[in-house]
């Protein structure tokens, strides 16, 4: 019973992460930018962080408590590939997080909004995160079928 519950929690966390990431991509557009959108981006980014932590925790629980055992997972190069992808995406997400906070500070202080170039740059980073993240389930699919170990 534990294995399917852990799998479900991990998948639910991944889906939540992508909901918040795609929400950022949808909101981060120059034509829609307003103080309210800057505030929403900041909140959505925080939820994205919570979902990313949930992905990490549920993944670790699957490794340590899952049916295949930690030895199988930790010896599997595909798990290391997935984790490397996760870390790369996490590092890419630092830029948007810092930008959203900077934008919120400026919006609260003076009502100023970010320039078109900066919004496009940050949206591009978010889109790169999303596209790289879409590759991680490919490695997971192979792992689920016994590859990489």
What pLDDT, on a 0 to 100 scale, did the predictor assign at position 68?
A: 87
Q: What is the DSSP letter of 34?
A: -
- pLDDT at residue 149 greater than cutoff 80: no
Pairwise CA distance, residues 2 & 6, whole Å? 6
pLDDT at 69 (0 to 100) = 87
Q: What is the pLDDT of residue 67?
A: 85
Overall average pLDDT of the 95-122 stretch: 97
pLDDT over 70 for what percent of the chain? 100
Closest CA to 103 of 125, 89, 118: 118
Q: What are phi and psi of 128, to 5 degrees?
A: -65, -45
Confirm if 58 and 10 have CB atoms less than 8 A apart: yes
Q: How is residue 45 annotated by DSSP?
A: H
When comparing pLDDT for 119 and 66, which is higher? 119
Residue 122 has pLDDT above 90, yes or no: yes
Give the N- to C-terminal CA distance of the chain in Å, as an integer: 24
Q: How many residues does the chain have?
A: 149
How is residue 4 written in tokens?
């399917």
Q: Residue 20 and residue 24: Cα distance in Å, rounded? A: 6
What mean pLDDT comes out for the span 41-68?
96
Mean pLDDT over the full length of the chain: 96
Helices 2-27, 35-65: crossing angle, 10 deg rounding:
160
Whether residue 82 is predicted with pLDDT greater than 80 in this model: the reply is yes
């Amino acid at each position: 019973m534990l294995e399917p519950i852990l799998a479900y929690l991990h998948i639910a966390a991944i889906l939540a992460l992508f909901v918040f990431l795609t929400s950022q991509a949808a909101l981060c557009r120059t034509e829609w930018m307003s103080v309210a959108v800057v505030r929403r981006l900041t909140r959505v980014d925080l939820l994205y962080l919570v979902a990313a932590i949930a992905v990490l925790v549920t993944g670790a629980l699957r490794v340590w408590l899952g049916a295949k055992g930690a030895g199988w997972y930790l010896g599997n190069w595909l798990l290391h590939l997935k984790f490397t992808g996760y870390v790369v995406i996490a590092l890419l997400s630092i830029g948007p997080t810092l930008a959203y906070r900077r934008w919120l500070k400026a919006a609260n202080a003076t009502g100023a909004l970010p320039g078109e170039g900066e919004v496009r740059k940050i949206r591009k980073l978010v889109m790169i995160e999303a596209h790289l993240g879409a590759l991680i389930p490919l490695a997971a699919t192979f792992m689920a079928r016994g590859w990489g170990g």
